[in-house]
């Protein structure tokens, strides 16, 4: 089990620690609902240092990224971030990721913790032009400071004008007196905020400085359980649940990051799938009757015929109702369609709803 540079800090704060993607991570501190609420209304800090970071550098770095990712990275400019996918050769997804353009010849890819080795090997397989690849995951710490008060809470720590930063852009600068820190207007909560990348050696110092600066704004540490309820209220996909090696980006509603103006892994087959139409779709749904949908529960029609399965589900703290994501046959994917979730052999009524659930 790997630790992040802040594992001891979380333990000292009384966090409940659990194994997650091979790391010892804080799942909650005081409780999911309270932590969720803190991020939706104020500001909270997640240690997400388990995420992976690769640096790709050289004349052909963009070519390699264009070859392995589904989105069009040629549209990036210095300081711009892009959400994308690594399609596999069988119509599924190796991983979803963020692509950061540092300069014309230098990019940072941010990948899911559970897929670091898999993604590295996948990209390396296509690196036939000698692009310089560095895996900096083990020496990089990452804090996600999320919520409507995030900019105010952090502004005293940096001369970067946080409030004016556009969504999915980043700046490199001095943060809490430490140079060469990446501050990115990204996150996985739908509550606004920033993700801050820096070397492990500064982790404890930066953590403490963030909490000092954020104290007047009610800043709190937040665990991964609330990160999951927050992302699910927005309908954001979680790799391993809602997307995986067997799900097509088109089925998953990720057509918007699948650009056919370039040649990428399996692009011809995906283009054929787009033309023919998918047979199943990832949908959002809200429970009408009482019951909490869970990963892998079956979705059935009124007659009890299996039409799909749940990929993510929870009781939404903001909405006070149960919500979920799942794949269903095309004919059941229309908004407002009544479906049923099989919970302990009982058909529990739900309806298809378009994410984000939390507006």
Q: Residues marked as binding for substrate? A: 195
The owner of tokens 């998918």 is: 278
| Cα diameter, the chain | 63
Q: How far is CA 315 from the centre of its chain?
A: 19
Check if the beta carbon of residue 346 is closer than 8 Å to that of residue 357: no
What angle (nearest 5°) sits at the alpha carbon of residue 329, between those of residues 328 and 330? 110
Alpha helices for the chain (secondary structure H): 7-12, 32-41, 61-68, 116-125, 150-154, 203-214, 224-234, 267-276
Q: In this structure, what DSSP letter does residue 166 have?
A: P
The annotation places the binding site at 195
Two structure tokens written together for 158:
């940096």
Decide if 291 contacts 348 (C-beta within 8 A). yes
Name the CA radius of gyration of the chain, rounded: 21
Q: How far apart are CA 197 and CA 53, in angstroms?
A: 10
């Amino acid at each position: 089990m790997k630790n992040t540079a802040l594992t001891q800090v979380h333990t000292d704060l009384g966090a409940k620690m659990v194994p997650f993607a091979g790391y010892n991570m804080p799942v909650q501190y005081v409780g999911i609902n309270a932590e969720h609420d803190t991020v939706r209304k104020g500001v909270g800090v997640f240690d997400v240092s388990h995420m992976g970071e690769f640096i790709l550098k050289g004349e052909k770095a963009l070519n390699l990224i264009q070859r392995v990712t589904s989105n069009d990275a040629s549209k990036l400019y210095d300081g711009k971030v892009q959400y994308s996918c690594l399609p596999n050769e069988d119509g599924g997804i190796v991983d979803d990721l963020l692509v950061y353009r540092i300069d014309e010849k230098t990019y940072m890819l941010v990948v899911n913790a559970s897929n670091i080795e898999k993604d590295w090997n996948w990209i390396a397989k296509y690196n036939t032009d000698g692009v310089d690849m560095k895996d900096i995951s083990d020496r990089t710490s990452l804090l996600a400071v999320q919520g409507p008060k995030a900019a105010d809470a952090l502004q005293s720590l940096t001369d970067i004008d946080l409030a004016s930063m556009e969504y999915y852009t980043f700046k490199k600068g001095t943060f809490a007196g430490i140079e060469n820190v990446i501050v990115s207007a990204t996150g996985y909560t739908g509550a606004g905020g920033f993700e801050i990348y820096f070397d492990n050696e500064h982790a404890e110092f930066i953590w403490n400085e963030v909490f000092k600066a954020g104290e007047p704004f009610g800043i709190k540490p937040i665990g991964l359980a609330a990160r999951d309820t927050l992302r699910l209220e927005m309908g954001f996909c979680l790799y391993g649940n809602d997307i995986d090696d067997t799900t097509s980006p088109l089925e998953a509603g990720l057509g918007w990051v699948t650009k056919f103006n370039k040649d990428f892994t399996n692009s011809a087959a995906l283009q054929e799938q787009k033309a023919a139409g998918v047979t199943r779709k990832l949908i959002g749904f809200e429970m009408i009757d009482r019951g909490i949908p869970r990963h892998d529960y079956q979705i059935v029609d009124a007659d009890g015929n299996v039409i799909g399965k749940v990929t993510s589900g929870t009781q939404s703290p903001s909405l006070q109702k149960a919500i979920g994501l799942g794949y269903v046959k095309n004919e059941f994917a229309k908004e407002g369609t009544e479906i049923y979730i099989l919970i302990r052999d009982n058909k529990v009524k739900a309806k298809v709803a378009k994410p984000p659930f939390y507006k």
